Structure 1
Amino acid sequence: MAKQDLEITTRDGVAKAGLFRSATAPSSKAGVVLYMDAFGPRPALNAMAERLAGEGYAVLVPDLFYRNAPYGPFDAKTAFVVEETKAALTALVKGTTQDMTINDSGAFLDALVAEGVTGPVGTVGYCMGGARALNAAATYPDRIVAAASFHGGNLASDAADSPHRKAASIKARVYVGMSGVDKSFPPEQSARLAEALRVAEVDHAIENYAGMAHGWCVPDHSVFNATGAERHWKRLATLFAETLA
Structure 2
Amino acid sequence: MQTSETCAVSIITPCYNSRVCISETIDSVLAQTYGDWEMIIVDDCSTDDSAGIIKEYAAKDPRIRYLKTAVASGSPTIPRNMGIDNAKGKYIAFLDADDKWLPDKLERQLCFMEDTQCDFVYSDYEKIKSDGERGNRVVRMPQKATFWDVIETCVIPCLTVMIKKETIGNTRFKSVAKEDFVFWLDILKKGVIAYNVGSVLALYREQPQSRSSNKWVMIKEQWDILRNVEGVKPAVATYFMTKFLFYGFLKYLK
Say which one has the larger Rg: 2
Q: Same fold (TM over 0.5)?
A: no
Higher relative contact order (CA 8 A, sep 6+): 2
Using the size of structure 2 for normalisation, the TM-score is 0.35
